[in-house]
Amino acid sequence: MSRPVVGAGRTAAVHTAAARIAAIGALLVTAHFAAAPTPTAAAPTRPNRAAQFPTPRAMTVEVLATHPHDRTAYTQGLVWEDGTLWESTGLNGQSTLRRVEPATGAVLQQRDIGAAHFAEGLARVGDRLIQLTWRTGKAFIWDKRSFELLGEIAYGGEGWGLCHNGTDLIMSDGSDTLFVRDATTFAIKDRVPVQIAGEPLANLNELECVGDTVYANVWRETFIVRIDPATGDVTERIDGAVLDSAIRAKYGFHDPYDCLNGIAHVPEDDRFLVTGKHWPELYEVRFRAIEGEPTGTASPSGTSSATSLPTVTATATKTPPRRWVIHLPWSARSRR
Ligand SMILES: [Ca+2]
């Protein structure tokens, strides 16, 4: 440390006894803080952003199985643990917390949220489930088994997605920033701007923490991103257009708000469960690199318990598709 050396030089120039005492005191204080360990609560280290931003790895989804999913569920959050699937559904008057049987889509347990709230992201912390609301600044804490309300958390801004990485909660609010929150106090510990190939990526929605990484849906987009929270860089771009196209063709709906949303990691075999808002199907998938493949074709290949998806060419592009990004009046945005 250079600071004590500078202080010692200044001390030599002091002539009066009182000034010497004061200077020695200051030196001791300086030395004390110089010897103290670096506070761990300081902002985490960020890499040099002058360095080139990485290009996300192009990925697609490999469908392993297809299961029924409640078409009335406006899916906002999915959480898996040991064969149990919890789901948070949104819309005012239709918001719920659910326990769902993955293979059949049957709703085994449900807690209705008051019509004043538009439920959003969901995360499990131990025996508790934390459920966000969109614009009412309140998170509900539920017992994961009984669905008993254990408490509420107030927060500022909007609530979109939520996941727990074993230590902290990661939250999205529709912007390009992920918020790292204390899992007990909900206090913000860090803010992580997210960028894809150097460009801010807004509308981060439902989240899934997997190890040190975070997977995120992007509102009204057909892709999922894998984010490194240490840098904010998108490291993988998973093209889910094969799912979106198939479900729209099969069920004949075209509402841009009924978009791909909902990610739950199944750690037992490193699969993911994904679905969408009002989607009648839930998919067991693996994310697979398509780099080096001649056609970039995603062919659902697993056994399907309910149906099979057509083969659809998944185009891996750096630029996110914009076909559903349309300008709508504010009233329509209340469907978020
Ligand atoms: Ca999730």
60-114: pLDDT as tens digits: 999 999 999 999 999 999 999 999 999 999 999 999 999 999 999 999 999 999 9
CA of 78 to the centre of ligand 1 (A): 4
- pLDDT tens digits along 198-212: 999 999 999 999 999
In terms of pLDDT, which residue wins out, 318 or 242?
Answer: 242
Give 132's pLDDT tier (boundaries 50, 70, 90).
Answer: very high
Give CATH 2.40.128.630 domain extents, the chain: 57-333
Q: Is the pLDDT of residue 165 over 80?
A: yes
**Residue 257 contacts residue 203 (beta carbons within 8 Å):** no
Amino acid 253: pLDDT: 81
How close is the Cα of 321 to the center of ligand 1, in Å?
A: 23
pLDDT tier at 51 (50, 70, 90 boundaries)? low
Q: Answer yes or no: is pLDDT of 175 > 80.
A: yes
Indicate the length of the chain as a whole number: 336
Confidence check: pLDDT of 183 > 70: yes
Tokens 């049957």 locate to 106
* Whether the predicted pLDDT of 120 surpasses 80: yes
Q: How far is the CA of 216 from the centre of ligand 1 (A)?
A: 8
- Whether pLDDT at 245 is above 50: yes
11 CA to middle of ligand 1, Å?
59
Q: Which tokens sit at 124?
A: 């499990």
pLDDT number for residue 75: 98
Distance CA 223, CA 277 (A): 14
pTM, rounded to two decimals: 0.75
b/e map 139-151, b = 16+ CB within 10 Å: bbbbebeebeeee
Banded pLDDT at 269 (limits 50, 70, 90): very high
What is the distance in A from the centroid of ligand 1 to the CA of 225? 13
Angle among Cα 234, 238, 243 to the nearest 5 degrees reads: 150
Q: 83 CA distance to ligand 1 centroid (A)?
A: 15
pLDDT value at 316 more than 70 = no
Taking the centre of ligand 1 as the mean of its atom positions, its distance from the CA of residue 206, in whole angstroms, is: 6
Least confident stretch, 81-85, 249-253, 276-280, 327-331: 327-331
What values do phi and psi take at 310, rounded to 5? -70, 160
7 CA → ligand 1 middle, Å: 53
Q: Please give the distance, rounded to the nearest whole angstrom, from the Cα atom of residue 116 to the centre of ligand 1.
A: 23
The rounded Å distance from CA 113 to ligand 1 centre is: 19
User: What does the pLDDT read at residue 150?
Assistant: 98
The answer to whether the CB of 261 falls within 8 A of the CB of 248 is no
Ligand 1: centre distance to CA 312 (Å): 26
Under CATH, what is the fold of the domain 57-333? Lipocalin (2.40.128)
Ligand 1 centroid distance, CA of 65 (Å): 19
CA 207 / ligand 1 centre spacing (Å): 5
User: What's the mean pLDDT in 36-46?
Assistant: 44
Q: Is the pLDDT of residue 190 over 50?
A: yes
Contact yes or no for 148/107 (Cβ under 8 A): no
Distance in Å, CA 15 to ligand 1 centroid: 67
- State the SS3 of the chain: CCHHHHHHHHHCCCCCHHHHHHHHHHHHHHHHHHHCCCCCCCCCCCCCCCCCCCCCEEEEEEEEEEEECCCCCCEEEEEEECCEEEEEECCCCCCEEEEECCCCCCEEEEEECCCCCCEEEEEEECCEEEEEECCCCEEEEEECCCCCEEEEEECCCCCCCEEECCCEEEEECCCCEEEEEECCCCCEEEEEECEECCEECCCEEEEEEECCEEEEEECCCCEEEEEECCCCEEEEEEECHHHHHHHHHHHCCCCCCCCEEEEEEECCCCEEEEEECCCCEEEEEEEEECCCCCCCEECCCCCCCCCCCCCEECCCCCCCCCCCCCCCCHHHHCCC
Q: Report the pLDDT averaged over residues 107-130.
A: 98
